[in-house]
Amino acid sequence: MIDQKTYVGCDSLFHLSDLLKAFGSKHVLIVRGKKSYESCGAQALIDKILFDNSCISYEYQNFEENPKIEDVQAGLSIIENHPVDTILAVGGGSVMDMAKLIRFSHSYEGELTGGLFEKKNALIKLIAVPTTAGTGSEVTRFAVAYKNKIKYSLDHEDVLPDAAVVYPPFTYDNPTYLTACTGFDALAQAIESYWSVKADTESLNYATLAIRKLWDSLPRLVESPTEELRNRVSEGAYWAGKAINVTRTTAAHALSYSLTSHYGYPHGHAVALVFPAVFNLNVHALDNLSPLLDKNRYSHRIDSLLELLGVDRENASRLIADYIFKLGLGLKENIPSGYETEVLLSGVNLSRLGNNPITLDTMQVTEIFNAFNDICV
């Protein structure tokens, strides 16, 4: 099991040099965003750190958002042709996923779509440096890849990076829409972890820290960005990642993936679209509570969640919908044919759906998806 080192805050980047020394890094593969690596200021700072540590670097950036399995193979070829001893992931969620998948595929035999793996090589060190505030992927044991528009999730202890450096200044120039998408993804992760059937004391502590950082700060950040708010949201995203690393996500994430793969919604936006309906069910439909949960204890947990959010049970669902609307995460108007329910159903992640506190059957899921067509037509 990886004993991860984490550094969070405006002084965190100073620790990157220490990590390179501790890991004995000399040949570093930088998995990076195509434009963000330079525009956020990471390139200038990290290039100097690598130079000061006498590191030879290689780069991989030629892959799409929501990485495809064939792109993983292209990145893997760099490791096979160079003596790479460390992977440095600098970017958003897709960059983190790609770096994790390349590292894992180098060490393990097996199809990423299959789930059965056999270790063949020692793990290359992996350092994750996010340039967005949202996925929390720098501190999770998960990675996702797409094949034929189907999402595949990898969940393995050796997917977790060896180190995470959360340096908020890299997010300071994130565009408003990106800020809203990634920030809401983090908030949704925290709330989903809070009500998950797998929640425990550790995850609840992480989720509480995340919600306290994100709930009030995110709308203010979207409306009027400041460095202080960027710092708070970056830290909140980190804690949300820590929370879901324990519990995994639940129905809101489980239902969102086809909205990304088939209709082009960024991940956080897709989660936001299904979140109000899932929130309403998880707060009110206690007659369908998972048999893994005690009704009284769960009801008390929901009361605690609503208190954290500062909303009452009666108006909670409407306030959540209003919150998302104010972030600018409504439905796109450029999909003239509406949303095909069967397509949306095909992308439901059953594992994540099983983490939900309220048991959802096909009819309830269909009703959630049909609401999109009701709005669009």
Express each pLDDT in 225-254 by its tens digit: 999 999 999 999 999 999 999 999 999 999
Q: What does the alpha-carbon distance between residue 225 and residue 221 come to, in Å, rounded to a whole number?
A: 4
Q: Which of 319, 309, 325 is nearest to 216 (CA)?
A: 309
Q: Which of 43, 238, 49 is nearest to 138 (CA)?
A: 238
Q: What does the alpha-carbon distance between residue 198 and residue 367 come to, in Å, rounded to a whole number?
A: 26
Do the first three CATH levels of 5-171 and 176-376 match, i.e. the same topology? no
Burial of 128 (0-12, 13-18, 19+ CB in 10 A): buried
Ramachandran assignment for 66, one of left (phi > 0), alpha (psi -120 to 50 degrees), beta (any other): left
Longest dimension (CA), the chain: 62
Q: Helices marked H in 215-315 — which ranges?
A: 217-223, 227-247, 251-254, 257-261, 267-284, 295-309
Q: CB neighbours (10 Å) of residue 313? A: 12
Q: What does the alpha-carbon distance between residue 340 and residue 118 come to, in Å, rounded to a whole number?
A: 39
- The reported pLDDT for the residue numbered 372 is 65
- The reported pLDDT for the residue numbered 264 is 87
- Give the Cα-Cα-Cα angle 93, 127, 137 (nearest 5 degrees): 25
Express each pLDDT in 95-116 by its tens digit: 999 999 999 999 999 888 777 8
Q: What does the alpha-carbon distance between residue 267 and residue 256 come to, in Å, rounded to a whole number?
A: 7
Residues contacting residue 19 through CB under 8 Å, at least 6 positions apart: 5, 25, 127, 163, 165
- pLDDT-derived band at 374, boundaries 50, 70, 90: low
Domain boundaries, the chain: 5-171, 176-376
Q: CB neighbours (10 Å) of residue 283? A: 22
Q: Kindly tell me if the per-residue pLDDT of 375 is higher than 60.
A: no
Q: Which CATH superfamily does the domain covering 176-376 fall into? A: Dehydroquinate synthase-like - alpha domain (1.20.1090.10)
Q: What angle do helix axes 362-376 and 267-284 make, rounded to 10 degrees?
A: 120
What fold characterizes domain 5-171? Rossmann fold (3.40.50)
Express each pLDDT in 284-324 by its tens digit: 999 999 999 999 999 999 999 999 999 999 999 899 999 99
> 145: which strand partners?
152
Residues contacting residue 152 through CB under 8 Å, at least 6 positions apart: 69, 112, 113, 144, 145, 146
Q: How does DSSP assign 162-176, residue by residue?
A: SEEEE-GGGGTT--H
The single-letter DSSP state of residue 65 is S
SS3 287: helix
Express each pLDDT in 326-371 by its tens digit: 999 987 755 545 678 888 888 787 778 899 999 998 888 988 887 7
Q: Which of 247, 136, 243 is nearest to 183 (CA)?
A: 136
- pLDDT-derived band at 175, boundaries 50, 70, 90: very high
Residues contacting residue 312 through CB under 8 Å, at least 6 positions apart: 306
